[in-house]
Amino acid sequence: MITLENLCFTYPGSDPVLENIDITVESGSSVAVMGPNGSGKTTLAYLLKGILAPTGGRITVDGVTAGSQTARDELMRRVGLVFQNPENTIVATTVEAELAFGLENLGVPRGEMKVRIEEALERFQLVRYRHTNPSHLSGGEKQRLALASVMIMNPACLVLDEPTALLDPPGRRMVRTFLGKLAERGTTIIHITQFMDEAGEANRLIVLDDGCITHDGRPGDILPQLAGYRLCGYTPRPMSLLDESARERPSRPDDGALVTFENAGFIYDRGTPFEHAALADITMSVRRKTATVVLGPSGSGKTTFLELAVGLAKPTTGTVGVDGVPVRAMAFQLPEDQIFGQDVASYVAFGPRNIGISGGELDRAVDEALSMVGLDPSRFRHRDPLTLSGGEKRLVALAGVLAMKPGLLVLDEPTAGLDWEGMTRVAKCLGSFCEEWGTLLFSTHDFEVVHTLAEHALVLVGGRVETVGRCRDVLAESGWIQSIGNTAF
């Protein structure tokens, strides 16, 4: 049993994140937690795990009350946590070693350890990556590894912080199926999610907003009351982020190719035993003043393709050419990979300052970029980036590249982990970007965003082009898209 009594938490120098939280979770329960970005969901997960100590109230798990370091250590042993950012937990140099790490710390006998590792590799579709360095995995593959590394230890209570945000449809379905089996087995599950479909599978739903509980009860009773939550990233008929008039853009003349791939390929660790081909024989072009989406399953080479397009990597075969764009910018799949500085304003100002913007114009650029992504400059300018929620970090990372008004904007999963309001805000500002400034190239697992923004689409499967062309044609013709449409949740 988990009991939270008058639980409060405040980060130093900021307003309270959680206030007066009272919750009792019976052993074996399956609880979904929803709420807008910044509502305190991730902080609640850290408190349950024992990573953070309450600033008020108390937490008790199976009779152990968080207080002393010994008690917090016991909480950490009893509670498994799958982080929102999978890279926060990966420590080993191979996938197999990563799976073994937690079992070794629990003192699991070697024979049993081998059996559990084989089962985890199979269940989470990681067999072929057994000897791969986790740093070479895609974002979705890292998330599967993070899930496997926690679930392999069979914790009595499992806390998951948006575990499916980076996953493709088969990966998302696999996680949901496995969580159902764990619940049947009696594992206590606390699942933080932005998806109503996932919340609907729990026995209980708790909704947080501004650090307080607004709803607590049966999902079937609460979900119809919630406006602005996502049904699922994969739906045969996606919801529109914008109204129809806002989505319609006048046809524009073809201004030619901005980025051209000619038989381009990329191999990681070329010439070593860890050699891995991420892309092969890519021939296509990204047209000027258009929005092009890159689709495909996890591990298909989407991130590598984006890095080649923006110039962060060079092809190992073939060529990638960019025609006359003075400023190119990319927001990464994991915002923690690029956010730095003492406060949000210093990070957002970094790019514009380096292209010659200064003084009052620089301050205006920062405020304008934050406002575009829905972050009030008066509230966020002086925030420590590390104290932001995952969704807020993603918006700050996007503001940092928008502030430069680049000719080519490259975004890797720009809406992963965002609530509906955040997705809508991002869609609007990216639509404006295409109209006013430049060319957009992005990857996503959110088909709402595809239907709202994309004019052209590229589907990668196994590092090769499966389908490319006008977005409407690709959605109708791609074999991969048809396969996930048949298995959508």
Task: Judge whether 345 and 378 are in contact, CB under 8 Å.
Answer: no
Q: Average the pLDDT over 366-386 and give the result.
A: 94
Is the backbone of residue 251 left (phi > 0), alpha (psi -120 to 50) or beta?
Answer: beta
d(CA 81, CA 128) in angstroms, rounded, equals 25
Q: Which helix (H) or strand (E) holds 339?
A: none
Find the range with the poorest average confidence among 111-115, 118-122, 253-257.
253-257
Chosen domain end from 170, 198, 225:
225
| pLDDT higher than threshold 60 for residue 228 | no
Contacts of 323 (CB under 8 A, 6+ apart): 256, 257, 258, 259, 260
| pLDDT higher than threshold 50 for residue 232 | no
Question: Which structural domain range is residue 368 located in?
Answer: 244-486
What pLDDT was estimated at residue 254? 64
Q: Average the pLDDT over 374-392 and give the result.
A: 91
| pLDDT, greater one: 14 or 205 | 205
My answer on whether 258 and 176 are in the same domain is no
Find the range with the poorest average confidence among 304-308, 388-392, 454-458.
388-392
Task: Judge whether 217 and 204 are in contact, CB under 8 Å.
Answer: yes
Residue 237 domain-assigned? Answer: no
Q: Average the pLDDT over 341-361 and give the result.
A: 95
d(CA 462, CA 67) in angstroms, rounded, equals 49
Q: Average the pLDDT over 99-121 and give the result.
A: 94
What pLDDT was estimated at residue 368? 96
| pLDDT higher than threshold 90 for residue 145 | yes
What pLDDT was estimated at residue 241? 55
Task: Judge whether 197 and 217 are in contact, CB under 8 Å.
Answer: no
d(CA 208, CA 216) in angstroms, rounded, equals 9
What pLDDT was estimated at residue 239? 46
My answer on whether 198 and 290 are in the same domain is no
Residue 230 domain-assigned? Answer: no
| pLDDT higher than threshold 60 for residue 486 | no
> Could you give the 3-state DSSP secondary structure of residue 368?
helix
- What's the pLDDT tens digit per position in 170-212? 888 888 888 888 888 889 999 999 888 899 999 999 999 999 9
Residue 60 domain-assigned? Answer: yes
Contacts of 287 (CB under 8 A, 6+ apart): 254, 255, 256, 257, 258, 439, 456
Query: Closest Cα to residue 147, out of 229, 58, 54, 80?
Result: 80
Cα of first residue to Cα of last residue in the chain, in angstroms, is 31
What pLDDT was estimated at residue 397? 96
What pLDDT was estimated at residue 240? 52
My answer on whether 256 and 193 are in the same domain is no
Counted residue by residue, the chain has a size of 489
d(CA 350, CA 137) in angstroms, rounded, equals 29
d(CA 211, CA 39) in angstroms, rounded, equals 5
Complete DSSP assignment for 378-446: HHHTTS-GGGS-HHHHHHHHHHHHHTT--SEEEEESTTTT--HHHHHHHHHHHHHHHHHT-EEEEE-S-
What pLDDT was estimated at residue 230? 53
Residue 232 domain-assigned? Answer: no
Pairing of strands 276-287, 212-217: unpaired
Find the range with the poorest average confidence among 137-141, 196-200, 240-244.
240-244
My answer on whether 27 and 162 are in the same domain is yes
Residue 180 domain-assigned? Answer: yes
My answer on whether 206 and 249 are in the same domain is no
| pLDDT higher than threshold 70 for residue 235 | no
Contacts of 149 (CB under 8 A, 6+ apart): 89, 90, 98, 99, 101, 102
In percent, the amount of the chain with pLDDT more than 70 equals 93
My answer on whether 264 and 201 are in the same domain is no
- Quickly count: other Cβ atoms within 10 Å of residue 21's Cβ: 23
Find the range with the poorest average confidence among 24-38, 190-204, 229-243.
229-243
Residue 335 domain-assigned? Answer: yes
Task: Judge whether 34 and 49 are in contact, CB under 8 Å.
Answer: no
| pLDDT higher than threshold 80 for residue 274 | no
My answer on whether 254 and 208 are in the same domain is no
What CATH number is given to the structural domain containing 445?
3.40.50.300
CA distances 10 to 1, 34, 188, Å, are: 25, 20, 27
Q: Average the pLDDT over 156-165 and give the result.
A: 90
What pLDDT was estimated at residue 246? 43
What pLDDT was estimated at residue 22? 95
Residue 234 domain-assigned? Answer: no
Mean pLDDT of the chain: 88
Q: Average the pLDDT over 304-327 and give the result.
A: 92
My answer on whether 204 and 249 are in the same domain is no
d(CA 40, CA 16) in angstroms, rounded, equals 9
My answer on whether 274 and 217 are in the same domain is no
Q: Domain count for the chain, please give it.
A: 2
Find the helix packing angle between 110-123 and 139-151, rounded to 10°.
140
pLDDT confidence band for 41 (50 / 70 / 90): very high
What pLDDT was estimated at residue 417? 84
Chosen domain end from 225, 260, 295:
225
Residue 279 domain-assigned? Answer: yes
| pLDDT higher than threshold 50 for residue 244 | no
Query: Closest Cα to residue 300, out of 327, 277, 325, 275?
Result: 277
> Could you give the 3-state DSSP secondary structure of residue 227?
coil
My answer on whether 72 and 204 are in the same domain is yes
- The torsion angles phi and psi of 212, rounded to 5 degrees, stand at -125, 155
- What's the pLDDT tens digit per position in 46-56? 999 988 889 99
Chosen domain end from 225, 259, 288:
225
